[in-house]
């Protein structure tokens, strides 16, 4: 029977108090050695809430501004917010460093041929093993990788509101001295209380426009909140001094987001977003000059807006859109506005192009979306289990840091990116029925409608639609041996077969239904 043992190792991030103390002490040592290579430095550090204490003894010809070094080290680590317990600007730095003890100096200074001692002594042990490329035990290397990743997502802003102090703990199960599996993982970090959806709704209620300026990252929770604000959301809470009464309010506001990076990545927010690329300024002007000219013309500008708005409202009741997009009210108003301005291109066409551009930009950062697009181009009309797709995509696009860890994870990501992929002409469709070998998925192109309508005007696929291409329409109707009559020209313009018949165009449904009756 195998001998079962468990080994647990812990790793801490750069913001852990132990690491802060090491960094500050090392920085003092480095500063003195740069000036006097013969410096002897025995400096210890203590860090607690709002306070840094540096003490010890040195023998050197150099000088170290310990207060400045301590504050600079805190800043480099990331302690710039007092909410994390200490920050580089307001921390109290107490210094108590004096000359090295004569007793220690006598023990380490060279004196003739006598053996020299050490100012401080310690004992350590260690060993190398073949469990990892670093020749270190597996538990400690896994713990180090977790803390490195934690520091990485904090510095990049990928995860908002987390602080520099964190730690990880990994337990590995060993059978006869060989690592068999990871038995437990613990990871913890400082974090701030981020703004909730309710906080954003309250802020929106008290402003005409929600403006987020110079943003570098939007968390999934904040993107969900912005979706609610832009199309209308409500929040409820218990009234003060009552136990049973509830206070409710609804809010709908325009949202403006300014930033260099692609900020809207959630498909729901992408579908509510109009992306505008602003040209680079080639000539700068003084603000006073700009406002002076604006003051001269603002009455004309405001009057022009009122005239345009009144014309738009007069035209609005006559606007008809065959299949409105998700932001239907916005689309109707935009179409009326284009008619008032006598713009012939039509708002829907321009709006769809903007939505497709936003979807394309959002999917650029998704390894799964990029992999699926390439896979569809090389294997159009693919169908099979999510597990089989996971195996094929993992071989072609093995990026462990961002790749789903299981077929289930891939399925979740496919469902998330499906709406944005559809705007780009790619189809991801799941069979609602679970089979013995798991869930099935279809990948392919969405063929262009014969009437030339834009993506937002395409019909919704449903079992009741004669030219539907959904799994439910195919499986439920063909299983009963029903022959599906298709409208003339339903398969024209199919990007897969050019109208000859394939599993992605309407004619193939008839072909497969006929096969089911034979």
Mind listing the pLDDT tens digit for each residue in 132-191?
999 999 999 999 999 999 998 888 877 777 889 999 999 999 998 899 999 999 998 887
pLDDT in the model for residue 155: 84
Per the CB < 8 A criterion, the answer to whether 395 and 401 are in contact is: no
Which tokens go with 185? 């993982």
Percentage of the chain lying above the pLDDT 70 cut: 76
Strand order in the sheet with 162-175: 4-12, 162-175, 178-191
Query: How far apart are alpha carbons 480 and 100 in whole angstroms?
Result: 93
At 293, the pLDDT band (50, 70, 90 cuts) reads: very high
Q: Which of 304, 305, 216, 200 is nearest to 255 (CA)?
A: 200
Mean pLDDT of 244-250: 71
Q: Which residues contact 480 (CB under 8 A, 6 or more apart)?
A: none
pLDDT in the model for residue 459: 31
Phi, psi angle pair for 339, to nearest 5°:
-65, -40
| C-alpha of 509 from chain center | 39
Per the CB < 8 A criterion, the answer to whether 494 and 447 are in contact is: yes
| C-alpha of 411 from chain center | 18
Phi, psi angle pair for 138, to nearest 5°:
-60, -45
User: Is the pLDDT at 481 greater than 70, yes or no?
Assistant: no
Domain coordinates in residue numbering, the chain: 14-102, 197-261, 287-356, 380-517
Whole-number Cα distances in Å, 284 to 256, 279, 288, 289, 297: 23, 13, 12, 11, 20
User: Is the pLDDT at 439 greater than 70, yes or no?
Assistant: yes
User: Is the pLDDT at 18 greater than 70, yes or no?
Assistant: yes
Query: How far apart are alpha carbons 412 and 416 in whole angstroms?
Result: 6
At 103, the pLDDT band (50, 70, 90 cuts) reads: low
Within 13 Å of residue 57, how many CA atoms lie on the same side as its CB? 9
State the DSSP code for 483.
P
What's the chain's average pLDDT? 77
| C-alpha of 481 from chain center | 47
pLDDT in the model for residue 194: 53
Query: How far apart are alpha carbons 396 and 488 in whole angstroms?
Result: 40
SS3 of residue 124 by DSSP: coil
CATH topology classification for 14-102:
GMP Synthetase; Chain A, domain 3 (3.30.300)
pLDDT in the model for residue 9: 92
Whole-number Cα distances in Å, 281 to 256, 285, 292, 304: 20, 10, 20, 26
State the DSSP code for 98.
E
H-assigned helices in 250-327: 267-270, 287-315
Strand order in the sheet with 440-445: 382-385, 440-445, 426-430
At 512, the pLDDT band (50, 70, 90 cuts) reads: very low
Query: How far apart are alpha carbons 141 and 135 in whole angstroms?
Result: 9
Q: In the chain, what is the straight-line distance between the N-terminal and C-terminal CA atoms, in Å?
A: 58
Query: How far apart are alpha carbons 467 and 476 in whole angstroms?
Result: 14
Phi, psi angle pair for 275, to nearest 5°:
-85, 130
Phi, psi angle pair for 98, to nearest 5°:
-130, 180
pLDDT in the model for residue 367: 84
Q: What is the pLDDT of residues 399-422, one digit of tens each?
A: 555 678 788 888 888 888 888 888
């Amino acid at each position: 029977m195998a001998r079962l043992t468990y080994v647990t190792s812990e790793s801490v991030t750069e913001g852990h108090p132990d690491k802060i103390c090491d960094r500050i002490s090392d920085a003092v040592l480095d500063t003195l050695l740069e000036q006097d290579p013969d410096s002897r430095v025995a400096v210890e550090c203590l860090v607690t809430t709002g306070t840094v204490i540096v003490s010890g003894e040195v023998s050197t010809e150099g000088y170290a501004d310990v207060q400045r070094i301590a504050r600079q080290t805190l800043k480099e680590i990331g302690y710039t917010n007092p909410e994390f317990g200490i920050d580089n600007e307001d921390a109290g730095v107490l210094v108590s460093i004096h000359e090295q003890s004569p007793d220690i100096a006598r023990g380490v200074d060279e004196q003739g041929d006598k053996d020299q001692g050490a100012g401080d002594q310690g004992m350590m042990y260690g060993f190398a093993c073949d469990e990892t490329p670093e020749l270190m035990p597996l538990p400690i290397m896994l713990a180090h990788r977790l803390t490195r990743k934690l520091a990485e997502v904090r510095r990049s802003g990928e995860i908002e509101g987390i602080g520099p102090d964190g730690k990880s703990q990994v337990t590995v199960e060993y059978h006869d001295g060989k690592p068999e599996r990871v038995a437990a993982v613990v990871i913890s970090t400082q974090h701030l209380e981020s703004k909730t959806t309710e906080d954003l709704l309250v802020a929106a209620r008290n402003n005409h426009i929600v403006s987020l300026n110079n943003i570098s990252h939007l968390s999934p929770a904040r993107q969900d909140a912005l979706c609610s604000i832009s199309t209308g959301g409500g929040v409820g809470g218990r009234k003060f001094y009552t136990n049973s009464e509830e206070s409710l309010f609804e809010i709908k506001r325009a949202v403006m987001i300014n930033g260099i990076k692609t900020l809207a990545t959630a498909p729901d927010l992408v579908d509510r977003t109009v992306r505008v690329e602003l040209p680079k300024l080639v000539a700068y002007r003084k603000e006073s000059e700009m406002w002076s000219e604006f003051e001269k013309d603002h009455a004309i500008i405001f009057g022009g807006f009122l005239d345009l708005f009144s014309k738009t409202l007069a035209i609005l009741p006559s606007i008809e859109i065959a299949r409105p997009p998700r932001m239907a009210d916005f689309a109707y108003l935009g179409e009326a506005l284009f008619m008032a301005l006598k713009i012939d291109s039509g708002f829907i066409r321009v709006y769809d192009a903007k939505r497709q551009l936003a979807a394309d930009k959002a999917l650029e950062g998704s390894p799964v979306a990029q992999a699926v697009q390439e896979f569809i181009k090389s294997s159009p009309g693919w169908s099979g289990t999510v597990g089989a797709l996971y195996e094929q995509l993992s071989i072609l696009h093995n990026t462990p840091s961002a790749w789903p860890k299981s077929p289930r994870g891939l399925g979740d990501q496919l469902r998330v990116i499906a709406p944005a992929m559809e705007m780009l002409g790619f189809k991801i469709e799941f069979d609602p029925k679970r089979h013995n070998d798991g869930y099935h998925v279809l990948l392919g192109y969405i063929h262009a409608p014969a009437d030339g309508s834009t993506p937002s005007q395409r019909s919704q696929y449903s079992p009741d639609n004669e030219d539907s291409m959904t799994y439910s329409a195919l499986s439920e109707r063909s299983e009963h041996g029903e022959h599906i009559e298709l409208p003339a020209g339903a398969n024209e313009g199919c990007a897969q077969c050019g109208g000859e018949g394939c599993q992605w165009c309407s004619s193939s449904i008839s072909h497969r239904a006929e096969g089911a009756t034979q």
